[in-house]
Amino acid sequence: MTQTQTLPSRATASPADDLLTEAKIGPRDGAGRTAVVAMSGGVDSAVTALVMRERGYRVVGMNLRLFSPDDEDHRANPCCGIPAMDDARATCATIGVPFYAINMEVEFGAAVIDRFVDEYVAGRTPNPCLECNRHVKFRHLVHRARQLGADCLATGHYARIERGDPVSGEPHRLMRAVDGRKDQSYVLYTLTQEQLGFIQFPLGRLTKPEVRALARGFGLPVADKAESQEICFVGNRSYADFVAARRPEATRPGEIVTGDGTVLGQHRGLVHHTVGQRRGIGVAAPKPYFVLRLDTERNRLVVGGREQARAESLDIEQVSLTGGVWPSDPFEVAAVVRYRGAPAAATVALGAEDERTAQVTFAGDRGPIASPGQAVVLYGGDEVLGGGTIRAVGRRGEIKLEVSTA
């Protein structure tokens, strides 16, 4: 049986006590209220549970089990495997709150792993963490929290929510975190107004060093646990090897060509390449080549120069606008096409609302390197305005590249 430790009081937690202010963690408004906290087994979710308890909430820890205990490939994964679940359970025991593990193996496999493989085989570049947030984590955690009669769901994501006023119609606003190096708003753009009204991000005004200071000050067992850097289900393999093990046809060799069809060599399978790649293409040339696109119909790897690799425009689909309003006029944004990527000035023209499409046109000639399948997230300052999935990339001097999702 796990030994429950006594949580140190705030008076004995200095200097962590200096961080437990309303400006840092929010108001102490939890008396008589219940918060379900998503427990991943890491320091961020542990401190989230601690903060919600300090704010007066009755805390319930909840972990999503994404892999079977019998799955040798994933059971030891430090991010979402069995050790992570054990760490989450130990943290809840230390804090003195109940812990539940919910089996999401089937849902995660279908919505995230299978889609990841299908997208790579189709020549697209998926973001599995974003899809997990959209289809698994928030959908099911919010549902379970409501089933328990909880007043909110809190997670350890680095982002902020500025509360709107449902009565007057003022929307909730999703904002970047104070700690720009840890900001995770990019993978949260699909959150709906209903979800934003129910979710809390207690770490949004804290920096990572402050989070670790709180964990150490209160004696949490995961205070110095290292962060996971890789996609949880891939393990120690490369993305290409993971996909190839499930879809061997993705390793079929083919031609490496320029945009005009000049053959430069042979690739060993499109799955080994991604748009924007420069190293490891397999072409010896006086100037560097970049991967422009993966032509899955002809099994060709199309390459070109650096300037050809930059996007002039993007056609996007599955558009989600955080505020829920669908403007008819074009508007200016800072567009980001990869997690913690640099923003690029752009203009957005929305299509018909029922089609959920838009075109993003970049200012000047310094557009980002982008690939079909990636998410493009639209910012107005620190606010997340929305985003979508890249369907087609327009580049200077090249016919627009499109990879169908059908």
Neighbour tally for 15: CB within 10 Å? 10
Task: Give the residue carrying structure tokens 């505020």.
Answer: 323
Checking if the pLDDT of 229 tops 50, the result is yes
Checking if the pLDDT of 7 tops 60, the result is no
Residue tagged active-site, from 79, 92, 132, 152? 132
Q: How confident is the model at residue 74 (pLDDT cuts 50, 70, 90)?
A: low
pLDDT for 84-103, tens place per residue?
Answer: 899 999 999 999 999 999 99
Per-residue pLDDT averaged across 317-338, rounded? 94
Residue tagged active-site, from 79, 80, 92, 232? 232
Q: Residue 3: its pLDDT value, please? A: 43
Q: Is 152 a catalytic residue?
A: no
Domain ranges, ordered by start, for the chain: 10-217, 252-308, 311-402
356 burial via Cβ count (<10 Å: 0-12, 13-18, 19+):
middle
Q: Could you give the C-alpha distances from 271 to 107, 131, 202, 390, in angstroms and in order?
A: 25, 20, 39, 19
pLDDT above 90 as % of the chain: 67
Checking if the pLDDT of 405 tops 70, the result is no
Q: For the domain 311-402, what is the CATH superfamily, name and number? A: Translation factors (2.40.30.10)
- Tell me the pTM: 0.90
CATH number of the structural domain 252-308: 2.30.30.280
Q: How confident is the model at residue 1 (pLDDT cuts 50, 70, 90)?
A: very low
Q: 10-217 adopts what CATH topology?
A: Rossmann fold (3.40.50)
- CB under 8 A, 24+ apart: contacts of 25-30: 25/51, 25/54, 25/55, 25/202, 25/205, 25/206, 26/51, 26/55, 26/200, 26/202, 26/205, 27/55, 28/54, 28/55, 28/56, 29/55, 29/56, 30/55, 30/56, 30/57, 30/58
Q: Is 132 a catalytic residue?
A: yes
Residue type, position 362, single letter: F
